[in-house]
């Protein structure tokens, strides 16, 4: 549906992106993560055909987005990081203008998007808050039911309730087969929506990961309280990775398969078990901190 092939763009100041390659399948939500200035927006501008790559190419629905500009607009929806609105327009006028360019907008679907995002389209854009402008941009990206939707930090400026509405929208459209690429700094949003994510740093893709694999890699800490200290002493001999111990309570670190932990624990009288899961954000941050490496 979307493939970025060996795209390199070096700006005169030496910054930019190098040999960026990844592809997104139909119906997949693909996250695009990385620290500030890593190259996310630059990559997205190439995907949209706004920048000419020094090397490489981008294909969306089979179209080369630089060489065939203007031919794939109806297939693609785009929410830029910063939307350039035309002065003096209301939200409605802007959406009408966009609909004219995109073609094929179903007014009932557009109205439903506006209703779900809860904003007044008659407001002049210059009087809108950042969050309201973001909502107008989201409607513009979704309203022509494109096959591919590119979202550059879609929930920045949205309150938690609206972030939830947005996530529901993405999941509904994904279920219908829409393909998404979404840059974000919001890890819970990535975790809830994405199938895979690429991590870019200093202009280079350092990892492309399946979110479900990352979730299964998450470390869990089980805090087990035994009836007696003697039982805990006996439990300690089983060779599981002990994180800490205090009285008749122990913290056991488990990564991946937890069956052995369950078998060993079940041999004793357990008073209580609590579980703490390592945040997915910590796993991503691990990648952010690493030096540039190949995936």
Ligand X SMILES: Nc1ncnc2c1ncn2[C@@H]1O[C@H](COP(=O)(O)OP(=O)(O)OP(=O)(O)O)[C@@H](O)[C@H]1O
Could you list the residues that contact ligand X (CB under 6 A)?
11, 13, 15-16, 34, 36-42, 81
Residue 85: which residues within 8 A CB-CB, separation 6 or more?
Answer: 94, 125, 126, 133, 136
Q: How many CA atoms lie within 13 A of 229 on its CB side?
A: 3
- Element (DSSP H or E) covering residue 275: strand 270-277
Nearer to ligand X, 45 or 209 (CB): 45
**Cα-based angle 42, 45, 50 (whole degrees, multiple of 5):** 130
Nearer to ligand X, 37 or 104 (CB): 37
Nearer to ligand X, 9 or 174 (CB): 9
Query: From the CB of 36, what's the least distance to ligand X, in Å?
Result: 3
Nearer to ligand X, 40 or 135 (CB): 40
- The CA distance from 40 to 43, in Å, is 5
Query: From the CB of 160, what's the least distance to ligand X, in Å?
Result: 21
Structure tokens at 223: 């805090």
3-state secondary structure of 2: strand
* Strand order from edge to edge, sheet including 179-183: 76-79, 148-152, 179-183, 29-33, 196-201, 204-210
Nearer to ligand X, 41 or 123 (CB): 41
Query: Does residue 51 contact residue 218 with C-beta atoms inside 8 Å?
Result: no
Query: From the CB of 19, what's the least distance to ligand X, in Å?
Result: 15
Nearer to ligand X, 39 or 154 (CB): 39
| CA 155 vs CA 29, 36, 165, 233, 269: distances in Å | 15, 16, 10, 50, 47
Query: From the CB of 293, what's the least distance to ligand X, in Å?
Result: 18
Query: From the CB of 193, what's the least distance to ligand X, in Å?
Result: 18
3-state secondary structure of 291: coil
Query: From the CB of 199, what's the least distance to ligand X, in Å?
Result: 11
């Amino acid at each position: 549906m979307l493939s970025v092939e060996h795209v390199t763009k070096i700006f005169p100041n030496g910054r930019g992106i190098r040999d960026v390659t990844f592809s997104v399948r139909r119906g997949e939500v693909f996250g695009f993560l990385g620290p500030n200035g890593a190259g996310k927006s630059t990559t997205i501008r190439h995907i949209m055909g706004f920048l000419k790559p020094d090397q490489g190419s981008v294909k969306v629905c089979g179209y080369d987005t630089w060489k065939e500009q203007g031919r794939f607009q109806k297939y693609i929806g785009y929410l830029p990081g910063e939307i350039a609105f035309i002065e003096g327009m209301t939200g409605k006028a802007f959406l009408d203008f966009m609909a004219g360019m995109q073609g094929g907008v179903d007014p009932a679907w557009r109205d439903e998007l506006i209703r779900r995002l809860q904003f007044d389209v008659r407001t002049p854009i210059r009087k809108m808050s950042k969050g309201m402008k973001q909502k107008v941009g989201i409607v513009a990206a979704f309203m022509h039911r494109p096959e591919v939707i590119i979202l550059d930090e879609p929930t920045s400026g949205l309150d938690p309730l609206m972030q939830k509405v947005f996530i529901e929208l993405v999941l509904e459209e994904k279920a219908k087969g829409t393909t998404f690429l979404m840059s974000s700094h919001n890890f819970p949003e990535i975790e809830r929506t994405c199938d895979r994510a690429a991590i870019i740093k200093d202009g280079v893709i350092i990892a492309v990961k399946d979110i479900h694999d990352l979730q299964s890699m998450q470390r869990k800490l089980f805090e087990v309280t035994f009836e007696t200290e003697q039982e805990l002493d006996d439990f300690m001999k089983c060779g599981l990775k002990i994180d800490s111990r205090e009285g008749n309570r122990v913290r056991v670190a488990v990564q991946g398969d937890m069956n052995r932990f369950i078998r060993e624990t079940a041999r004793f009288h357990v008073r209580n078990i609590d579980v703490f899961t390592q945040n997915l954000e910590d796993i991503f941050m691990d990648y952010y901190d690493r030096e540039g490496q190949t995936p």
